[in-house]
């Protein structure tokens, strides 16, 4: 069964304290892995798409990497405004024409000043 697991469930960092969030997945064929950021009471904001193992993408203090089994979202020198829930989702080749996403439960990140 296709599955996405995110860890940790919650993470509290001090401002400037770098860390990584994990998204492990088991799918029959990966078509794409997506990272989103969600603030309370708002819709998810698209961050990155990764397609193949070894691929990396960066945006400001965030860097996403992908292996054949998992993806990491590295946060370098985080600031309080990086506090949010980070969601990971994958799209599998066998998802049919609608290609729906399989979602993880998210990591709730809190960055203290």
Partner 1 sequence: GAVVSQHPSRVICKSGTSVKIECRSLDFQATTMFWYRQFPKQSLMLMATSNEGSKATYEQGVEKDKFLINHASLTLSTLTVTSAHPEDSSFYICSARDPPRTSGRSYEQYFGPGTRLTVT
Question: Does 59 contact partner 1 by CB under 8 A?
Answer: no
SS3 percent helix, strand, coil of the chain, rounded to 5, is: 5, 60, 40
Question: Does 43 contact partner 1 by CB under 8 A?
Answer: yes
Burial class, 69, CB count within 10 angstroms (exposed 0-12 / middle 13-18 / buried 19+): exposed
Nearer to partner 1, 8 or 16 (CB): 8
The Cα 35–Cα 10 span in angstroms is 16
Contact 2/28 with Cβ under 8 angstroms? yes
Q: Which one of residues 7, 19, 24, 49 is an interface residue with partner 1 (CB under 8 A)? A: 49
Q: Which one of residues 36, 64, 82, 109 is an interface residue with partner 1 (CB under 8 A)? A: 36
Question: Does 98 contact partner 1 by CB under 8 A?
Answer: yes
Nearer to partner 1, 1 or 14 (CB): 1
DSSP conformation letters of 63-76: EEEE-SSEEEEEE-
Nearer to partner 1, 10 or 77 (CB): 10
Interface with partner 1 by CB under 8 A: which residues? 31-32, 34, 36, 41-46, 49, 51, 87, 91, 98-101, 103-106
């Amino acid at each position: 069964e296709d599955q996405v697991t995110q860890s940790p469930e919650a993470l509290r960092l001090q401002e400037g304290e770098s860390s990584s969030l994990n998204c492990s997945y088991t799918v029959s064929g990966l078509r794409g892995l997506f990272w989103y950021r969600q603030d309370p009471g708002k819709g998810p904001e698209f961050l990155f798409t990764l397609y193949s193992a070894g691929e990396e993408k960066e945006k400001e203090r965030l860097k996403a990497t992908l292996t054949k089994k998992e993806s990491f979202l590295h946060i370098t020198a985080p600031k309080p405004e990086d506090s949010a829930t980070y969601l990971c989702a994958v799209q599998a080749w066998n998802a049919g024409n609608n290609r729906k996403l399989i979602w993880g439960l998210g990591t709730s990140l809190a960055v203290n000043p």
